[in-house]
Amino acid sequence: MDSSLSRLYARRRRRNVMTMGLAYAATGFGLSWLVLILAVLLWEGFSGLSLAVFTEMTPPPGAAGGLLNPIMGSLVMTVIAVLIGTPLGILAGTYMAEYGRYDKLTSVVRFINDILLSAPSIVIGLFVYEIMVAQMGHFSGWAGAVSLAVIVVPVVVRTTEDMLTLVPDTLREAAASIGLPRSLMIQKVAYRAARAGMITGVLLAVARISGETAPLLFTALNNQFWSLDLNAPVASLPVVIFQFALSPYKDWQSLAWTGALIITLAVLALSIIARLLAAQRRSS
């Protein structure tokens, strides 16, 4: 009796030690990928980093050059995408949190929005190709910006709704009690209270689209030369990385690594700033 009990205890303890060991190992395994990827990226990226990267155009194979035109293209398309996507997302989130919190429409939109949030981005590229590129007959920077905007919208809708829902109702009631119309209450009180969270959402959206490649492949296409004409194909950093990395030329591959480093640093910086903003809001 006694010995069988202690055997049982021993077995339970053994199993516990084993599984907990697995948990430690799994965490080490997961984190080691982050370290490994970042280490390689820093190593390969920094070796190609120079001033020329930011001042010169993408080179033909075998020549020296930089990434100025894809960097500018990415910036311009990202800014336009945010300008289109953010107001739309904020307004939609406002309806869901302020006017129709318990509506049927809101729950349907929330469900659909969550699906759009993780829908394959290449499908969004196909969609914009169909409605813009195929209709206009040529690839264009506008199409690229619109496809990025379609990715921005769900992110902003989600954070706006979440952040406005967190605004205490007493604030709304106080605003109503001094006779503020509802629309002004939302704009002057609710938005102000939720501002940090909403900015976080926009930053996260920017982080998300700054690395997006798939939707740009057949909307903005690519451009070897300096061009800010949004009616023509525009180069973007991710697409150039894709093209250069798969090429057989050493110079192009090394530029691809440098581009990858720039994107990753930008994305990490954006998500860290977003996180700091969110943390500030929590503590205040």
Of residues 245-264, which lie at the interface with other proteins (CB under 8 A)?
245-246, 253, 256-257, 260, 263-264
Task: Please give the size of the binding site for other proteins, defined by CB under 8 A.
Answer: 90
DSSP class of 214: H
Instruction: Please identify, among the stretches 52-60, 70-78, 167-175, 268-276, the one whose residues bind other proteins according to the rule CB under 8 A.
Output: 268-276
Nearer to other proteins, 37 or 75 (CB): 37
Q: Find the binder of other proteins among 154, 163, 202, 234 (CB under 8 A).
A: 154
Least Å distance, CB 33 to other proteins, is 5
CA distance 131 to 117: 20
Least Å distance, CB 137 to other proteins, is 14
Residue 12 tokens read as 């339970």
Which among 129, 154, 123 is positioned nearest to 144, based on CA atoms?
Answer: 129
Q: Interaction with other proteins in 46-85: which residues (CB under 8 A)?
A: none
Q: Does 198 bind other proteins (CB under 8 A)?
A: no
Least Å distance, CB 93 to other proteins, is 8
Q: Interaction with other proteins in 117-136: which residues (CB under 8 A)?
A: 118-124, 126-127, 129-131, 134
Nearer to other proteins, 182 or 192 (CB): 182
Neighbour count for residue 57 (Cβ, 10 Å): 17
Instruction: Please identify, among the stretches 54-62, 75-83, 102-110, 191-199, the one whose residues bind other proteins according to the rule CB under 8 A.
Output: 102-110
Q: Does 152 bind other proteins (CB under 8 A)?
A: no
Which among 70, 93, 102, 96 is positioned nearest to 266, based on CA atoms?
Answer: 70
Q: Does 102 bind other proteins (CB under 8 A)?
A: no
Which helix (H) or strand (E) segment holds residue 104: the answer is: helix 104-117
Q: Find the binder of other proteins among 49, 56, 271, 277 (CB under 8 A).
A: 271
